[in-house]
Structure 1
Amino acid sequence: MPAFRQVGEKQLPNPVLCMAWSPKRDLIALANTTGELLLHRLAGFQRVWTLPPSEYTGKEITAIAWRPDGKILAFSLGDTKQVVLCDVEKAEILHVFPMQSPVTCMHWMEVIEESSALSSFYNSEDESKLFLPKLPTLPKSYSTTSKIFSEEKSDEILKLLGEVRLNILVLGGNASFVELYAYGMYKIATLEGVLGTCRSLSLSSDLKSLSVITEVRSADDNPEICYVQLDTGLLSDCLPEVTRMARKFTHISTLLQYLHLSLTCMCEAWEDILMQMDLRLTKFVQEKNTSTQVQDEFLELLLWGQSSPELQALLMNQLTVKGLKKLGQSIESSYSSIQKLVISHLQSGSEALLYHLSEVKGMALWKQKFEPLGLDAAAIEGAITAVGSFSLKANELLQVIDKSMKNFKAFFRWLYVAMLRMCEEHVPPELNKMTQKDIAFVADFLSEHFSENEELFGRKGKYFNVERVGQYLKDEDEDLVSPPNTKGNQWLKFLQDSTHLKGSPLLFPSYPQKSLHFVKRMMENVIENCLQKPAEVIGKSVKQAIFLPLYNVPESSENTPRLFELPSLWNDKKAKMHYVVFCMPEISPHKLYLLRRGTDPNRPIPNSVMSINLTHHLDSGDNGNAADQSHYVYSYLDARFYDDEMLTVVLQGSEEFNARRVLAQIPISSSLSCETEFNWEPNLRLDQQSSSIPSQGLVLGNQWRELENMKAQFVAVNGIRKVACVLSTNLRHIRVFEMDVEDEDEEGADSQNASADQEGLEATMSSQGQGEEENLEAEGGAGEQEEGEGVFQKSEEHLESEEALDLP
């Protein structure tokens, strides 16, 4: 019986560029050449959902990584230089942030630290819930938010924090940059001076060091693969402080995004309806032949009940009585929506921001603990002031909305009666009563709103400031066309007359000439400066501990996808070591090399470099055929760390044995048991001193399987879930395996029943027709996604029952 049980196989319509198993579930994420992100289940390799490329994000996926809890998937886009966080449950984009250059590799790890200081912190961290009300969910009726976010999105944004334990997303690019993001959201370190293009990286779970594989152009212009170890001691030394700061700043980042989306919803509520008034009046002015102003014509109608033929044509033909009524209702509804968004979203979001920034300021004042991390109390005080100004501006907008609603109601009521009279229709008696005060009110409204603005003649036609709310929502740097009238405001007069209060830091500046958008952008910039400072300080503390040039990149590999072909890194949490597995095809194609370094850069490790000779001696016990006693000579195609003790490799036999491809498990412990010590010559590349590297023979036992009828090339594994996925050279043919089937066979009847269920599921799938499956594969689409969510839910129940068996 061959080792490893095959549980799925599929020909995909588009080549796969990246693949990664979920750390917690039997799910694998794939990214293909069309920019699609696909999620598949292990059983039968069924698709759960497809996230198609969008204009908002991009279509050239360069790397993917799972959050350690398996609930969020990060992927990077080369064409738009962005990193996207996606909700695995609903296939929705949660967060997008820009990068300075395309990301080539990423690694998302969880910090493992059992200290009493952290335990007490984890228990007391969520105090904000005691003081802050829950943020209202964003409305789903607006197109901008529905493109990116679901109706429950405000909750989803705050779920980005996930578990309290610190996790860090590490990103590497092709412009010598490496960045660390706490919780995948907040940048806690920007590292500079990493030579070359990052090809693979791994942050140790104790935060003491970061291992990076880079591709550097050497003096003779040959690409050279190098191993770099960076000392990140400040992060491990200040872990409780880093965690607390990171969670606070991640809260702040999510709140900024929440405010941005709330403002976007307000803009949409305003644009669709209120712009119609300006546009219709501008068109009227452009088409009318008389020299009188619009304001005069409306005043004439107000005073004498008569109107010019042009105004009458505008009112009766373009607006109409029915249209006027509808427009009035729409404007009132729109104002109410904006007012509700300001009160429930902007103000509650601003209060939460002030709370978290005030806590960060308190942290910054505790210099003994937080000064090494770069927290600047003065800069945070500036951010608090900027949030206060934004809150004041939102409150000013509420007053403008309130006044505008009263004005528009009175204006539309008068205009409705005037149009009924033009039509010679019956005017209801309750509308016919207009006091002198009402007439004066409408006259003031006309003189204030319907005067042509000479300063803005350069725009399309003549601009009318009919509507006061829109100027607050325009994302422009110009001052407000009609700033609020502050004459007679006793508080402002008192401030101006007081020498002590005029420039007091206790009072938030109000920026009376500026729009809400302008003040929001200013607030974002100030907070962004606060967020960046620690990343710069922590980044400068990271020093290069080791730089080891390994080997030259062979010219033959230029066309091979680098995402798979690179050396594979592993972070051994128990032994506190970094492992690197690689091959030097031009020097010794039949050897696999293992490099290991302690996560503590100051800790020397014996047997730092070993090699495995890929010549496998068969005996009759391997396959039961005594005539086959010989040896196979293999070359390495791909290798990944299965767990702390095992390597999963794809090997290719020599031509004399039909170049057969083999999936195998190689124990690391036996390879590292060699007593011969390798003395590294620091001035030479590793491939120039490969002859002196200690070597061990290949030990396969029964942990291998021939991959028949498949030109296998690459592999992705997950030792926790005991699964592997093999990909062909053309990047389209995939096979999925359960690896530790021997243990399951001993389980008895339960295992057999599970196997029978699996076969029944596969039979059901195949009866639906292969052609239909391929069409679904090519098309994707929303209908399939909804169906996929159901599959995902079933998968969850299945997995929960499995975890007791599979997980240690």
Structure 2
Amino acid sequence: MPAFRQVGEKQLPNPVLCMAWSPKRDLIALANTTGELLLHRLASFQRVWSLPPSEYTGKEITALAWRPDGKILAFSLGDTKQVVLCGVEKAEILHVFPMQSPVTCMHWMEVMEESSALSSFYNSEDESKLFLPKLPTLPKSYSTTSKIFSEEKSDEILNLLGEVRLNILVLGGDAGFVELYAYGMYKIATLGGVSGTCRSLSLSSDLKSLSVITEVRSADNNPEICYIQLDTGLLSDCLPEVTRMARKFTHISTLLQYLHLSLTCMCEAWEDILMQMDLRLTKFVQEKNTSTQVQDEFLELLLWGQSSPELQALLMNQLTVKGLKKLGQSIESSYSSIQKLVISHLQSGSEALLYHLSEVKGMSLWKQKFEPLGLDSAAIEGAITAVGSFSLKANELLQVIDKSMKNFKAFFRWLYVAMLRMCEEHVPPELNKMTQKDIAFVADFLSEHFSENEELFDRKGKYFNVERVGQYLKDEDEDLVSPPNTKGNQWLRFLQESTHLKESPLLFPSYPQKSLHFVKRMMENVIEHCLQNPAEVIGKSVKQAVFLPLYTVPESSENTPRLFELPSLWNDRKAKLHYVVFCMPEISPSKLYILRKGTDPNRHIPNSMTSIDLSHHLDNADDNGAAAQSHYVYSCLDARFYDDEMLTVVMQGSEEQNSWRVLAQLPLASSLNCETEFNWQPNLRLDQQTSAIPCQDLVLGNQWRELENMKAQFVAVNGIRKVACVLSANLRHLRVFEMDVEDEDDEGADSQNASADQDGLDATMTSQGQGEGSLGVEGEAEEQGRDEFLKPTEHLESEEAVELS
């Protein structure tokens, strides 16, 4: 009786391209050909949620990886060249960053090395909370682009930053493109010197080396699979410094995103003002058909209290007293939203940025520790100055808003009174008083908004260019149309006259002619440059330690999804080894090969290359007492490391055995206890020297199970959760198994009975559903036959997402 219990089965409408088990929970993520990301729970294979493809991200998912804490899922998009971090709890996009080329594989690992310097850092990491106020959440009404800082999810930012312990997302792509992202967000290394297209990657948990499987076009233009080991010694030697630097830079990246979204909210609030103005005032200007200018007519009304019949008709019919009141209120509330965003969001975000950058500057001055990582104190000083300039510009905008609000209020109050008089309605005495200052404010407003200036009408009548606040929010490189008037500013005059102070590095430059957007973009570029330098320096320190050409790819397999194909990589933390498992179907179809390399590139590993012969002898009787077939010859379809001691394989019997498919667990210890040492000929590919590779017999015991009525092809496993998911060759039929069920005595017995019942049900359902001659053939007949069996689990996949426990 096999030790695996089938717990779920499903036919999916779209082929699956990637699948990955969560490292912490009984969840599996699937990506299909439509670009949809699905999360399923093990129990009855229920769907928890699905994230449909969007225009904002892309539709072609090329790789998947879970953050080691299981709270975030990373996926890459081939069509838009982006990597997306998605929150697992509610299927929300938390962070998106662009790539230079499409990502073909990814691996997210956690550093397991400990040191006293690191433990003290883990404890003190949140010191910034003592000094900095909590960032205010973004208003609900705005910011449709990201939900990460919104009202109900203020802890989402902590979710995005995750644990303090360093984890690294490794991304690989075409033309040897490999990048490392600390905490999945901050790029700490761009590696060069890798040849070919990356097929899979594995960074060792001690950070000493990175194993890469690449596909290289050989001289005769055949795809060749190679194993490359890169020496990442600098990362492991400077682990405490790398962790501190990466953590700080991740904070900085997050704050830049926060400032960007705050500014987006301000622009949205500003668009609201424009829309209100457009709806009422622009229409009002355009419908006026007299030769005199609107501005002149308003000035006449202001000075003499009389208006032309046309202006009166337009005011009373188009604008109306009620409309004017509504317009005034909505514009005032949008203005105060912008003001609030500047004070509470831009300023507090800038302060936090200055704090973290100053800490990084302190690190950079500790040259002995941080200089090898590429921290440049001059570049960081430049970043601090750029943040200071941004703060100054935000402050300048506050003053402009204040002045504009005065003009707006004065204009609306005056016009409201004038219109009440036109209607001969009662004017409240508190509105009737008008000082000389108020008249000046109204005149200012009129000259700004109703002048016949060509620049005003460059955007379908929107008064964007001259409106004093709007010009700061323009995302363009042009100078401000009307910069603030600095005449009479004593501080500026003092600076101009003082030669020493004028050039002082202690004073932040103010860029009086530039918009807030411009200064923000400049600040982002300077900080970006600051953050990039370590990635280049660390990247250059990484050298290729091993390059082993393994075998050529048969052209017939070109259609197989690359994401599932062998070789499979594994990082054994205890033994500090990289394992590679692969097959060479063209050379020796019934053998499985295992390559071992130490995570330290300088360490020699004995018996680094072994193979397992998949011809298997069975002499035991089956459950009914009949003698079982005694000899099986298998070929391996897929193999994944279950844990450090076990390999999970999907095998196929020979044609004489009706091409049976089997799911099995292979213990690695017996396979690797090999006495013969393999001497690698450096000038030959591995597939040209297979006869010299030591070979072990297959040891199965009871750790196997036949996969009936399924053309099984691929498998995804998680040894921590003790689960496996088998996928058919048509990429749409899934079966999920719990693996080590015999360990739990009573439950084990029940589960084995359940497993036997399940097998019986499998056979019954299949015999009922399938027509003659279709046994073992994947296709429509099998899928129709499965429909009956699948109905009990299908209904669980309701539109309502099942909440995560």
Q: TM-score, structure 2 length as denominator?
A: 0.92
The runs of 5 or more residues in structure 1 that have no matched partner are none
Aligned-residue offset at 1:273: 2.5
Are the aligned partners of 1:137 and 1:155 in contact in 2 as well (CA < 8 Å)?
no
Which segment is superposed worse, 194-203 or 484-493?
A: 484-493
Distance 1:792 1:75 in 2: 32
Distance 1:494 1:756 in 2: 91
Distance 1:436 1:780 in 2: 87
Say which SS state the counterpart of residue 334 (structure 1) adopts.
helix
Are the aligned partners of 1:84 and 1:96 in contact in 2 as well (CA < 8 Å)?
yes
Aligned-residue offset at 1:371: 0.2
Aligned-residue offset at 1:153: 4.5
Which segment is superposed worse, 402-411 or 127-136?
A: 402-411
- C-alpha change, 1:187 and 1:165, in structure 2 (3 Å) is same
Aligned-residue offset at 1:312: 2.7
Say which SS state the counterpart of residue 801 (structure 1) adopts.
coil
For residues 175-197 of structure 1, the C-alpha deviation after alignment (integer angstroms, 9 at most, x for no partner) is 32100000000000000121000
For residues 110-165 of structure 1, the C-alpha deviation after alignment (integer angstroms, 9 at most, x for no partner) is 00112112112211121111101111112222252467775344531343221111
Distance 1:51 1:778 in 2: 32
Aligned-residue offset at 1:295: 1.9
Say which SS state the counterpart of residue 563 (structure 2) adopts.
helix
Distance 1:719 1:464 in 2: 60
- C-alpha change, 1:756 and 1:95, in structure 2 (3 Å) is farther
For residues 477-525 of structure 1, the C-alpha deviation after alignment (integer angstroms, 9 at most, x for no partner) is 1111221111111111111111111111111111111111111111100
Which segment is superposed worse, 761-770 or 734-743?
A: 761-770
Aligned-residue offset at 1:565: 1.3
- C-alpha change, 1:767 and 1:421, in structure 2 (3 Å) is farther
Distance 1:250 1:791 in 2: 51
- C-alpha change, 1:403 and 1:132, in structure 2 (3 Å) is same
Say which SS state the counterpart of residue 154 (structure 2) adopts.
helix
Corresponding position: 1:780 with 2:779: yes
Counterpart of 2:575? 575
Which segment is superposed worse, 135-144 or 599-608?
A: 135-144
Distance 1:433 1:778 in 2: 91
Are the aligned partners of 1:202 and 1:211 in contact in 2 as well (CA < 8 Å)?
yes
Are the aligned partners of 1:453 and 1:463 in contact in 2 as well (CA < 8 Å)?
no
Say which SS state the counterpart of residue 105 (structure 1) adopts.
strand
Aligned-residue offset at 1:761: 18
Counterpart of 1:495? 495
Aligned-residue offset at 1:306: 2.1
Distance 2:140 2:21 in 1: 32
Are the aligned partners of 1:43 and 1:758 in contact in 2 as well (CA < 8 Å)?
no
Say which SS state the counterpart of residue 565 (structure 1) adopts.
coil
Aligned-residue offset at 1:674: 1.1
For residues 67-103 of structure 1, the C-alpha deviation after alignment (integer angstroms, 9 at most, x for no partner) is 0010110000000000000111111011000000100
Corresponding position: 1:323 with 2:320: no
Corresponding position: 1:804 with 2:801: yes
Are the aligned partners of 1:452 and 1:464 in contact in 2 as well (CA < 8 Å)?
no
- C-alpha change, 1:350 and 1:788, in structure 2 (3 Å) is farther
Distance 2:410 2:780 in 1: 49
- C-alpha change, 1:781 and 1:42, in structure 2 (3 Å) is farther
- C-alpha change, 1:734 and 1:754, in structure 2 (3 Å) is closer
Distance 2:363 2:787 in 1: 45
Say which SS state the counterpart of residue 779 (structure 1) adopts.
coil
- C-alpha change, 1:119 and 1:267, in structure 2 (3 Å) is same
Are the aligned partners of 2:226 and 2:548 in contact in 1 as well (CA < 8 Å)?
yes
Which segment is superposed worse, 214-223 or 612-621?
A: 612-621
Distance 1:788 1:395 in 2: 70
Aligned-residue offset at 1:433: 2.5
Are the aligned partners of 1:35 and 1:53 in contact in 2 as well (CA < 8 Å)?
yes
Distance 1:541 1:675 in 2: 37
For residues 656-688 of structure 1, the C-alpha deviation after alignment (integer angstroms, 9 at most, x for no partner) is 111000000001111111101110000000000
Distance 2:154 2:437 in 1: 46
Which segment is superposed worse, 461-470 or 679-688?
A: 461-470
Are the aligned partners of 2:407 and 2:444 in contact in 1 as well (CA < 8 Å)?
no
Are the aligned partners of 1:453 and 1:462 in contact in 2 as well (CA < 8 Å)?
no
Are the aligned partners of 1:225 and 1:550 in contact in 2 as well (CA < 8 Å)?
yes
- C-alpha change, 1:670 and 1:264, in structure 2 (3 Å) is same
Are the aligned partners of 1:62 and 1:75 in contact in 2 as well (CA < 8 Å)?
yes
How many equivalent pairs are there?
805
Corresponding position: 1:763 with 2:760: no
For residues 663-718 of structure 1, the C-alpha deviation after alignment (integer angstroms, 9 at most, x for no partner) is 00001111111101110000000000111111111110100000001110000000
Are the aligned partners of 1:158 and 1:254 in contact in 2 as well (CA < 8 Å)?
no
- C-alpha change, 1:616 and 1:338, in structure 2 (3 Å) is same
For residues 326-369 of structure 1, the C-alpha deviation after alignment (integer angstroms, 9 at most, x for no partner) is 01100111111111111111111100000000000010011000
Distance 2:306 2:780 in 1: 59
Distance 2:756 2:461 in 1: 75
Aligned-residue offset at 1:776: 30
Are the aligned partners of 2:10 and 2:794 in contact in 1 as well (CA < 8 Å)?
no
Aligned-residue offset at 1:800: 24
Distance 1:416 1:116 in 2: 71
Distance 1:260 1:786 in 2: 50
Are the aligned partners of 1:568 and 1:581 in contact in 2 as well (CA < 8 Å)?
yes
- C-alpha change, 1:147 and 1:118, in structure 2 (3 Å) is closer
For residues 553-611 of structure 1, the C-alpha deviation after alignment (integer angstroms, 9 at most, x for no partner) is 01110111111113000000000000000001110111100001000000011111111
Are the aligned partners of 2:81 and 2:98 in contact in 1 as well (CA < 8 Å)?
yes
- C-alpha change, 1:522 and 1:572, in structure 2 (3 Å) is same
Are the aligned partners of 1:650 and 1:662 in contact in 2 as well (CA < 8 Å)?
yes
Are the aligned partners of 1:47 and 1:788 in contact in 2 as well (CA < 8 Å)?
no
Counterpart of 1:268? 268
Which segment is superposed worse, 705-714 or 761-770?
A: 761-770
Distance 1:420 1:614 in 2: 95
Say which SS state the counterpart of residue 496 (structure 1) adopts.
helix
Aligned-residue offset at 1:759: 15
Which segment is superposed worse, 156-165 or 136-145?
A: 136-145
For residues 237-257 of structure 1, the C-alpha deviation after alignment (integer angstroms, 9 at most, x for no partner) is 000000000000000000000
Corresponding position: 1:649 with 2:646: no
Aligned-residue offset at 1:428: 2.2
Which segment is superposed worse, 716-725 or 287-296?
A: 287-296
Distance 2:162 2:156 in 1: 10
Aligned-residue offset at 1:386: 0.5
Distance 1:734 1:83 in 2: 27
Aligned-residue offset at 1:793: 25
- C-alpha change, 1:766 and 1:727, in structure 2 (3 Å) is closer
Aligned-residue offset at 1:792: 25
Distance 1:752 1:159 in 2: 40
Distance 1:87 1:797 in 2: 25
Are the aligned partners of 2:364 and 2:376 in contact in 1 as well (CA < 8 Å)?
yes
The runs of 5 or more residues in structure 2 that have no matched partner are none
Are the aligned partners of 1:202 and 1:569 in contact in 2 as well (CA < 8 Å)?
yes
Distance 1:473 1:769 in 2: 65
- C-alpha change, 1:790 and 1:661, in structure 2 (3 Å) is closer
Distance 1:766 1:509 in 2: 77
- C-alpha change, 1:596 and 1:804, in structure 2 (3 Å) is farther
- C-alpha change, 1:802 and 1:777, in structure 2 (3 Å) is farther
Distance 2:532 2:140 in 1: 32
- C-alpha change, 1:778 and 1:393, in structure 2 (3 Å) is farther
Are the aligned partners of 1:89 and 1:792 in contact in 2 as well (CA < 8 Å)?
no
Which segment is superposed worse, 744-753 or 279-288?
A: 744-753
Aligned-residue offset at 1:790: 28
Are the aligned partners of 1:274 and 1:467 in contact in 2 as well (CA < 8 Å)?
no
Distance 1:799 1:461 in 2: 55
**What is the CA RMSD across the aligned residues, in angstroms?**
6.0
- Percent of aligned pairs with the same amino acid: 91
Aligned-residue offset at 1:747: 6.0
Say which SS state the counterpart of residue 777 (structure 1) adopts.
coil
Distance 2:307 2:707 in 1: 88
- C-alpha change, 1:421 and 1:761, in structure 2 (3 Å) is farther
Are the aligned partners of 2:633 and 2:653 in contact in 1 as well (CA < 8 Å)?
yes
Are the aligned partners of 2:621 and 2:627 in contact in 1 as well (CA < 8 Å)?
no
Are the aligned partners of 2:148 and 2:157 in contact in 1 as well (CA < 8 Å)?
no
Aligned-residue offset at 1:395: 1.0
